[in-house]
Amino acid sequence: MSTQTKPAIWFWIVAVIALLWNALGIMAYLMRAYMTDEAIAAMPQEQQEYLHNQPAWYMAVFATAVFGGTLGSVLLLLCKARAYWIFLVSLVCVVAQWSYDMFMVAYSPAFETSGLVMAIMIPVFSLALVFISRSAKAKGWLS
């Protein structure tokens, strides 16, 4: 039988914020996945081309990143050690998305002034969740 140490209050706050953050990610994914042709047509030409030229794997890693992040957050709230591995997979997907936007396309709305903050926050937050879950596991907060 293993003993589990009670997590600190900040852990619960971070876990709830992580769940809310990743739920917003799911919302962003669903908005993009189900965007109508009319909505795309209303966008500037560069954004239209960007969306029409995205490879299928980009949307697959987007979905895996946000649904994985949400699952990891739920597992964190349930004090399950598997949260670390799920967050790690989510981070790999975030890095794949970010790399595509950074290195594989001439134009990405993620790197416009308005999207730059999110383009920085998403990988930083994903990395932080990996480290927090690993730390919580090492402290015996997760089983």
CA–CA dist 138, 132 (Å, integer): 10
Residue 3 lies in a domain: no
CA–CA dist 73, 81 (Å, integer): 11
2 contacts 42 by C-beta, under 8 angstroms: no
Length of the chain equals 143
pLDDT of residue 2: 57
Residue 47 lies in a domain: yes
Q: What single-letter amino acid sits at 86? A: I
Per the structure, the count of domains in the chain is 1
Range of the domain at 28: 9-138
Residue 4 lies in a domain: no
Question: Using one digit for the tens of pLDDT, what is the confidence trace for 44-90?
Answer: 888 888 889 899 999 999 999 999 999 999 999 999 999 999 999 99
> Following CA atoms 69, 84, 71, 4 in sequence, which dihedral angle do they give, to the nearest 10 degrees?
-140
> Following CA atoms 44, 126, 16, 25 in sequence, which dihedral angle do they give, to the nearest 10 degrees?
20
The pTM of the full predicted model, rounded to 2 decimals, is: 0.90
Residue 143 lies in a domain: no
pLDDT of residue 82: 98
